[in-house]
Amino acid sequence: MNKIFRKQQLTPYEADYAQWCAEQGALLREGRLSDLDRENVAEEIESLGRSDKREIASRLGALVLHLLKWEFQSEQRKTGWLLTIREQRLRIRGLLDESPSLKKYPAQVLDREFKIARLKALDETGLRDRDFPVHCPYGIKEILDDDYFPGSPWSSDNLMRE
């Protein structure tokens, strides 16, 4: 990007977010710290960490939902469930590799995500409330373990094709 003009010609944050980002990035690269929209830049940087946390929580919830279905509807196991379990584990691990400071975060939100996953499992499976445990039956190490699949043993031979 060409050199940024004077501060009064910068795009306001609320007017064009993409342009504002480009301009703020150019200001940082040029070392023009006094021209930065410091408050909004700081807020955007902080939101990046919150975004990673939201993504980890969301992926953990999807993973727990599929583990519940896997265990409590073993006769209905589908290839898609297996793929979702595997993908969510890989994606969570990728996020944790990129941000090691969030390594303990999945365990911190497990109870909340389990409650949501349990409600979804009730709706999706048609099973009764009493058919599912009230508290998460899986530890975070099991949940993220590539080889862990709760319930009866399985093989690819007994998966339903979607």
pLDDT at residue 154, rounded to an integer: 66
Residues 144 and 74 in one domain: yes
Residue 115 lies in a domain: yes
Residues 65 and 18 in one domain: no
Number of domains the chain contains: 2
Residue 99 in tokens: 């941000």
Q: How confident is the model at residue 126 (pLDDT cuts 50, 70, 90)?
A: very high
Residues 133 and 58 in one domain: yes
- Burial zone of 107 (CB within 10 Å; 0-12 exposed, 13-18 middle, 19+ buried): middle
User: Nearest 5 degrees, angle CA 109-CA 110-CA 113?
Assistant: 85
Residue 43 lies in a domain: no
pLDDT at residue 8, rounded to an integer: 58
The DSSP call for residue 73 is T
Residue 25 lies in a domain: yes
pLDDT at residue 59, rounded to an integer: 98
pLDDT at residue 161, rounded to an integer: 66
Residue 46 lies in a domain: no
Residues 29 and 70 in one domain: no
Residue 89 lies in a domain: yes
- What would the pLDDT profile of 105-124 be if each residue is shown by its tens digit? 999 999 999 999 999 999 99
Residue 28 lies in a domain: yes
Residue 8 lies in a domain: yes
- Three-class secondary structure of residue 160 per DSSP: strand
Domain that holds residue 24: 1-36
Taking the C-alpha atoms of residue 60 and residue 47, their distance in angstroms, rounded to an integer, is 20
- Burial zone of 14 (CB within 10 Å; 0-12 exposed, 13-18 middle, 19+ buried): exposed
pLDDT surpassing 70 at residue 156: no
pLDDT surpassing 90 at residue 6: no
**Span 42-51, average pLDDT:** 91
Residues 24 and 58 in one domain: no
Residues 57 and 30 in one domain: no
- What would the pLDDT profile of 60-108 be if each residue is shown by its tens digit? 999 999 999 999 999 999 999 999 999 999 999 999 999 999 999 999 9
Residues 32 and 55 in one domain: no
Q: How confident is the model at residue 9 (pLDDT cuts 50, 70, 90)?
A: confident
